[in-house]
Structure 1
């Protein structure tokens, strides 16, 4: 298992982090006890990074992490914590509003620190860009948080390579977060390469395709009750049935290798670059254990070739986002 750095000068990390959106009922009902069990398992396995946001459950995810730290004081020193700001929910319920103002970001950061029970976070992301605000201005705001001691490093979520270069020219960007998996490979069109060039960690969310690249993809009845997936093109018929059929040979390959499907998906993404840190989310300790298999499996050239044959670039049916879900992420190819 090869440790990875959270940016050029960042702390050394276990190659897999925890995506704590799952602590907020996004992918189904959960509770504090289940989330704390995941954190217990992570500590026992040596996993060191937790990724959250102020809008995951409108603060629920951060609060759950904060109560864990209160009950387990040594966990604060074990984990590095990333959270995010820049999104607010539209009061009329029609979607998100992106607020990149210095005032909003500082207020959001202070509230996050309070929920987490921390004096500083290791990494603070701008969750979504407001195109009306120059990225240089936002980067200056984030850099001031570093100088104030509230933040140790900065990052951006779902930005284009050109935006990363502009931001990095103002202040070192420790990490960029983007969806990246065998089913979503658009970051290979420049973002993976730019992050490597600049010494920026690429933090990959949804690395097992929102359950698609697992032994037990979500069932149709479950999907219907999850607001995000119920409107996501890849999880709508006929796309979903086609995707389930497409992954069957990949599931069989994982079994032949003595791995879970999720474990092989994680092993694949880790093989794409030593600056890539996947942050899968789960509500199950058993599933978390499967994800960790990927950190201990070094993908061979033959295995990589077989995966490319089974799931070539562009195999997934349906876009990764609906038109409404594309509001915010920067498209660059």
Structure 2
């Protein structure tokens, strides 16, 4: 696995990371044995950057990782998140970026992971009532205390990044980015490149749309994020599946899975991007990691652009409930 820089302080991680949201069952039932097999496979492949959050399964994802780390310490670089507040019985989630709340959540994350330090700590969502400069000052305290190696933000704007970075260098920004979700190209990718901030794309395989096995929404469990997601319900789903047929054929011609080709496309967009495909399957982990060995040419990229042009996807990224409700997806 080739290495790419995480931030500007010299920390290097594998070019393909692993998103661990699915360890908490967001895309169907799973168990700790399956998740640990995926982590073991990641180690074998040189995938050494894990991404999780305190709210993935109310800490379950962190607990699963922590149980694995007991017997496999010092290999993975860990990123987790805080800032989303989920009150019992609430119909909408809230955001809290206060020092007291973040500190409490970080301490709980460290305990679940079984570590005294994480390499990267993200503000999962921004608390609009609090200036980002104040939030950065809190994160700098955590860094000085040796609890985090660096900090970042998930799904913020380029302008907010610039304000935060002016107070202290930001290590990373995480946003959804793939062939069918390209909003970060409208300023965020460019701002990260200019400031030396690592851009970390989540859901680079379109939440499974770019998979070898055709999806069937009728098989989605009620807990599956995609069950009510606009891009996976009709008529949008049929439009999207029809659109990606030529892409799947191109992947087959190249002897790889659609997921591998989709991640290779992300890697080719910028030499410093570190995509974090999410999976709970060791076999899928293999497909994701294989993207590192692909070197797409300008001709390849032009062909993919012709097949799946900017804005091809039908449907919004989130439903209203997914955007504003208590569930967390990303």
What is the TM-score normalised by the length of structure 2? 0.96
Partner of 1:83, secondary structure, is: strand
Shift of 1:229: 1.7
CA distance in 2 between partners of 1:60 and 1:309 (Å): 41
Partner of 2:168: 171
Q: Which residue, 98, 109, 129 being the options, matches 1:112?
A: 109
Query: Deviations along 1:240-288, whole A, 9 cap, x unmatched?
Result: 1110111110000000011110000010000000121100111211111
Equivalent residue runs for 1:249-260 within 5 Å:
249-260=246-257
Partner of 2:328: none
Partner of 1:54: 54
Q: Which residue, 263, 266, 270 being the options, matches 1:269?
A: 266
User: How many corresponding residue pairs?
Assistant: 325
Q: Compare 210-219 and 9-18 and name the one that shifted more.
A: 210-219
Partner of 1:154: 151
Partner of 1:17: 17
Question: Residue 126 in 1 paired to residue 119 in 2?
Answer: no
Any unmatched runs of 5+ in structure 2? 326-330
Partner of 1:228: 225
Equivalent residue runs for 1:6-155 within 5 Å:
6-72=6-72, 76-155=73-152
Q: Confirm or deny: 8 A CA contact 1:260 1:293 kept in the other structure.
A: no
Question: Residue 203 in 1 paired to residue 182 in 2?
Answer: no
CA pair 114-271 structure 1, distance change in 2 beyond 3 A: same
Q: Compare 131-140 and 90-99 and name the one that shifted more.
A: 90-99
Query: Deviations along 1:209-250, whole A, 9 cap, x unmatched?
Result: 000011124311233523532221111110011101111100
What is the TM-score normalised by the length of structure 1? 0.95
CA pair 227-284 structure 1, distance change in 2 beyond 3 A: closer
Q: Determine which structure has greater relative contact order: mean sequence separation of CA pairs < 8 Å that are 6+ residues apart, divided by chain length.
A: 2
Shift of 1:103: 0.2
Question: Residue 5 in 1 paired to residue 2 in 2?
Answer: no
CA distance in 2 between partners of 1:250 and 1:14 (Å): 26
Q: Confirm or deny: 8 A CA contact 2:28 2:224 kept in the other structure.
A: no
Q: Confirm or deny: 8 A CA contact 2:231 2:316 kept in the other structure.
A: yes
Q: Compare 20-29 and 224-233 and name the one that shifted more.
A: 224-233
Partner of 2:91, secondary structure, is: coil
RMSD between aligned alpha carbons?
A: 1.3
Shift of 1:2: 3.8
CA distance in 2 between partners of 1:10 and 1:58 (Å): 32
Partner of 2:174, secondary structure, is: strand
Partner of 1:331: none
Query: Deviations along 1:60-112, whole A, 9 cap, x unmatched?
Result: 0000011001122xxx3111000000112132241312111100000000000
Partner of 1:176, secondary structure, is: strand
CA distance in 1 between partners of 2:145 and 2:212 (Å): 46
Structure 1 ranges of 4+ moved more than 2 A: 222-228, 323-328
Any unmatched runs of 5+ in structure 1? 329-333
